[in-house]
Structure 1
Amino acid sequence: MERMKSVSWGWSLLVLAWLGSSSATLSPSGINYEVVALMTIKAALRDPYNVLESWDRTSVDPCGWRMVTCTPDGSVSALGLPSQSLHGTLSPAIGNLTNLESVLLQNNHISGPIPSSVGMLEKLQALDLSNNMFSGEIPSSLGSLRELNYLRFNNNSLSGPCPESLSNIKGLTLLDLSYNNLSGPLPNISARTFIITGNPLICGHKGDANCNTVLPEPLSLPPDALKASGIRSHRVAIAFGTSFGSAFFVIIFVGIFVRRWYKHRQQSFFDANDHCDPEIFMGHLRRYPFKELWAATDHFNSRNILGRGGFGIVYKGRLKDGTLVAVKRLKDYYTSGGEIQFQTEVEMISLAVHRNLLRLSGFCSTEHERLLVYPYMPNGSVASRLRDHIHGKPALDWSRRRRIALGTARGLLYLHEQCEPKIIHRDVKAANILLDEDFEAIVGDFGLAKLLDHKDSHVTTAVRGTVGHIAPEYLSTGN
């Protein structure tokens, strides 16, 4: 017994040590360095309206989190938190999100210095920290952001000189440093629109006549006309440049958002109308048309979300006959194997039938979507019931907890030892233990790691599961 305790404690120390040392790289360890960076950023901020509630340190994939956008290969590409009443500071951990292309934190109450680690974001194209409370100097490291198009630091409390290194950024469309406390000479910056107005130590206290401001494009007027226009025209040009730059910046990002939304919506309807087969039954397994699940979940409305996990988002749905179901929309459909392979894996999962296992009712597979359909569990998960207890709702009594634990063990025993072919769960946690109408334990989410890895071997290319619930040997070896 003492030896078993010692071994268990040793494994615990190994896992803790691994978690503490793996913030620099992604996976063979199964720890996503981007999750670590985002959670560090969250810890440095005060979030009065819980807009970052979906950011979960136990996740191995942040792409389902609110305000986070990812590339198709799963890397964090955009962080958009404008006008969210955030306080606190911006953590230097942002420099670890090396695939970021845009950071939008405008119109908050974030204070402290701008981290110099922002200069490590070599792919960054847009950085907007305007209308906050940032102080200190502008980091000279920003000069290494050669892809930067839009940079807005206006309406903060920044001081010191404008870094000479900013002249290294040749593709700037807009640079707005207005209404700070900057000083010193201005470098030769090649931005189309460079706004420096509102900095008294540069522009003077009586107006902007001494400001060096680069306008959107050289005006096609003769020199005499330029002289005659005087200061009034100069101010009008500054105002025009400010408005033009701001509007152009907003239009660009609204356009990107609308284009992605329209493309996604168009693709979804394309799938629904053209790619889904009619109802097909394979044993007890049914193949659903996409448009039926689309309608059942009210177009995958966020109000119907039952939970988010490492494999996708689960929605509550009501079929045409009134049956309640849970629809899991797999997030890695773009990396999944071919149609035949997917069906084979789904059929394999459906063969695992046990009173303590969640029965797969059916699926939908299109060129761009992979959906799994399960019976709806009215009492949620063990994790949600434990949270209910925290919030003052009736707790699970001891006899019911004991029955849940035993039911879970029976389900896992069947999966790991008695099922053919055997299925290793790989993500056992309270959120994946569901409760039926009689509070019987129903083990869910089994087989999904294999389903999304597409390898014939037990050695997989990526560790899947939830940090804190992964077997130590799997965490360290991937086997």
Structure 2
Amino acid sequence: MSLKMERVFAILILSCLYSFVLPDYQGDALFALKTSLNASPNLLRDWNQNQVNPCTWSNVNCDPNNNVISVTLSYMGFSGILSPKVGALKTLRILTLQGNGIIGQIPKEFGNLTSLANLNLENNKLSGVIPSSLGNLKKLQFLILSQNNLTGTIPESLSSLPGLISLQLDSNNLSGQIPEHLFQVPKYNFTGNHLNCDINFLHPCETDSDDSGASHKPNIGLIIGISGGVIVVLFIGGFLCFLRRSRRRGSKREVFVDVAGEVDRRIAFGQLKRFAWRELQLATDNFSEKNVLGQGGFGKVYKGVLSDSTKVAVKRLTDYESPGGDAAFQREVEMISVAVHRNLLRLIGFCTTPTERLLVYPYMQNLSVAYQLREIKPGEPVLDWPTRKRVALGTARGLEYLHEHCNPKIIHRDVKAANVLLDEDFEAVVGDFGLAKLVDVRKTNVTTQVRGTMGHIAPEYLSTGKSSERTDVFGYGIMLLELVTGQRAIDFSRLEEEDDVLLLDHVKKLEREKRLDAIVDRNLNDEYNIEEVEMMIQVALLCTQQSPEDRPAMSEVVRMLEGEGLAERWEEWQHVEVTRRQEYERLQRRFDWGEDSVYNQDAIELSGGR
């Protein structure tokens, strides 16, 4: 073999080795984490050491280039230690491991996670010191180490973190002096330690916290006593003067002072872009009606094209000054910026002015599932059955992430085909978090104003105003029926032929009569698998059971759609449903008295318990 051929051969071998070995470091690092955490066999089952690409693993999210950017492993019952190999994940932005029983120290190698914006290790059993290497994380915004057994002093290096928004070190065994610069972090908590945070009365141990519901504001009376009333008056006067000057300048350029300061600082904007009002005005042709993509409870969504030809969808909150309007903006920005998943709509940026609140999303080329089912124009292709199956699974995975891998968990509260968008590859993307609600993991439900769309709202939410993740499961079940039938959740045209205005009742009736062919969308032209249709209908009916306790969690829904555990669950449901229907028919017969019958009080009492 000639020298030239040997070189070519060597290059080919090295190239092959490079292509196989290089991508493995992410999977190796994550598998090492799984091993060190002592994960039980039932946890992280899909984290396979022989699978090169970890972007398909549960609780792991990646960017379009297959770089791992998020690992969320909260409240999963781990009892091991943290692997230092995690430090190899240079693209990781979010690492949350709170609520486990993790022991040992925080590896100093965590200081190599140079892209990290959110590190949450709260409520574990970690010991040792806080590594000074965390001061290398220049993009870090949230450092949550509360409720552990950490000792030693707070590293001075943390003072060099320029973008730190929240520093939570409470309920540890830390001691010594708190670095002065850390009191400038917008939100901090040093309580429950042995720290010298009370030697300077101008610095309380904790800033205001909406999470606890309690007020920890600085003692203004004490400050006045020390600093003098004149200083306070001068400060207030100067601040008001600054606000007046800022508002006068608002007519010439973008000013963001209209957003409440405390709220603004708590929002994790991360890599979000602040758009100028004029930029979005030009992009949407001055918010022309011809560019309206849809309209929701808080405003309209417009199609737009930025100056670099990027297509976007701009949500304009036209009623932000009304109750809930501005709160909706803050809620969406907070949640979408930290909820990162391939099946959730990604927020590109935002714009605020004294009179406007706008959110900017990627433009979904194929619009929504509702559009594809019921509003396509002549000549446009019908949403085929394989795509509908993929949409069902993708939506389930997105909701599973919101319910089980976000802390606090996120309840969407308006799951329907119109709020599931489709990207250029017809992959499902759950959108419209304007109605979502953050729920503390220690609570089972939340009481609030009922929001949603009739026909999709769970009965317990409609009657009591109490929502939980199981209300989303109900809406998801109705969306599955939309996918199968192509019909709306409520259709009054059915009154002409039957009494079942609700799609759910209509499908239940046809399922009992074993008329599955009459259920399926006629636009599919018999191009579907009847066994898969039956499976999807079964999952939908399990999700829409009357009692929220009987409905499966979204993680179970994902498994059933993947072919695991559906048969057993369906058999159990059928037994309960038959018993319930027999009782219902028995009571109906008791109510079916003639004209001369006496009022049957017993029947009324029996019906009350149904």
Greater RCO (CA < 8 Å, at least 6 residues apart): 1
